Chains A and B, each alone.
Chain A
């Protein structure tokens, strides 16, 4: 079966750095995605990792370790608009994308 775990909620301060972890156990692996979802809106794509290592994209970075079944999303220089849910999703060896429950991030002034 598929199992993807992320913390339910996190709180951080504006201007700080926050790391959102995701661990997974899936029957296959074809890549890991991070999506951002603001309340009442659709998810939007942030990053995709298929090889081990760090992918940096502006203030956001995503890391993957396939041997550990582990990824994290790093958000730097937090802004109030970063308050949202962050969804980790794994593409297994088939055609399915399985999502974790999401981490709700609250950024405080």
Chain B
């Protein structure tokens, strides 16, 4: 089954404790992206990747890092989480960066205390 898998789905952590949200897709998509979704603000892009070893900042990259060492995986790293990073995070992938529909993971709800 074609899918985008994120883990963990739910996480409560404390300020400053590094964490990684994993994302994996099995559709051989080149384009992958991370979004955060907050009430009243909609989906905002954090980082995206056009292909292996190619990553770029989105609208709200501060406080986040990403890597793309393999085509299928695109982890999101919060080196020192802060409460303002409490949000619902979605990973997504697409076969084409411009015209391709995005396939979203189920979301990861992160709470930073």
Contact = CB atoms under 8 A, between A and B. Distances in A.
- On whether the two chains bind one another, the answer is yes
A104 to B, nearest CB: 11
B41 A42 contact: no
Interface in B85-113: 90, 97-99, 101-107
B62 interface: no
A90 B81 CA distance: 30
A35 B48 CA distance: 19
26 contacts: A30-B98, A33-B101, A33-B102, A42-B90, A43-B43, A44-B104, A45-B101, A45-B102, A48-B99, A50-B99, A87-B42, A89-B43, A95-B31, A95-B50, A95-B97, A95-B98, A96-B45, A97-B102, A99-B35, A99-B43, A99-B44, A100-B42, A101-B40, A101-B41, A102-B42, A102-B43
Nearest to A50: B99
A57 B42 CA distance: 25
A43 B92 CA distance: 10
Contacts, number: 55
B43 A87 contact: yes
Contacts of A50: 99
A91 B97 CA distance: 9
B33 interface: yes
Among B40, B56, B97, B106, the most chain A Cβ lie within 10 Å of the Cβ of: B97
Contacts of B59: 96, 98
B45 A97 contact: yes
Contacts of A48: 99, 101
